[in-house]
Amino acid sequence: MARKRFDLIVFDWDGTLMDSTSTIVRCIQAAAKDLGLPVPDNKAASYVIGLGLQDAMQAALPNLDPKYYPRMVERYRYHYLSKDKGLELFDGVREMLADLSQQGYFLAVATGKSRVGLNRALDASQLLSVFDATRCADETFSKPHPAMLQELTRELGQDLLRTVMIGDTTHDLQMAINAGAAGIAVHYGAHPSDELKALNPIFAADSVAELHAWLGENA
């Protein structure tokens, strides 16, 4: 049997495993509205998905008085926590993760969520035991800094050259480039396919089923 191409497969969470993009956009917009601030349009709000919360609010609403950003984070969390119980994994995610785990891959998550937020999501989706390691934006540098991937590979004793990062945003793919890892794009999340293509991922999937099939044959 041929040796696998990768040993460690790292997934983004929102917009890659969890169908949460539209909810996050609405919560960012609601937070701005609560504070009487300009409400970012859908494109601006979706572009910041994947960043740490403080960085995301600064990117969605640049040039504000800095005092507003912690308040934006607070209001965003208020809205998101009222809706996150209703979020679901994309179809096929659970089966894909189970299959990859059974094949012996190390599995990890690198996300812009907070540790509390990711743990809530993992618990709600009953995936706490599936991943070998996880990193959140409030524990280290936010994407696209390479720290998350560097730390995950060190923790699991893996090689970045045999690691692939899978995500729906340019932040994910740029992080992979910055870390020296491979990158795979998914086209069903937050960022437009042409922007993802510009970062030369080794593959781009239009669905979880397509991603699962490619990983089964090529990873």
Identify the structural domains of the chain with CATH numbers, from first to last.
8-20+88-218 (3.40.50.1000), 21-85 (1.10.150)
Evaluated on CA atoms 146, 193, 119, 28, the torsion sign reads positive
Catalytic residue of the set 14, 19, 55, 168: 14
* Residue 65 annotated among the catalytic residues of the structure: no
What's the pTM? 0.93
Catalytic residue of the set 12, 19, 55, 84: 12
* Residue 123 annotated among the catalytic residues of the structure: no
> How many degrees, rounded to 5, is the angle at CA 17 between CA 209 and CA 181?
90
> How many degrees, rounded to 5, is the angle at CA 203 between CA 134 and CA 3?
75
**Looking at residue 1, what is its pLDDT?**
46
What are the per-10-residue average pLDDT scores of the chain (219 residues)? 84 96 94 96 93 92 92 94 88 97 97 93 94 96 97 98 97 98 97 96 98 95
Q: Answer yes or no: are the C-beta atoms of 40 and 138 closer than 8 Å.
A: no
Cα–Cα distance for residue pair 203/218, rounded to 1 Å: 10
**Looking at residue 2, what is its pLDDT?**
57
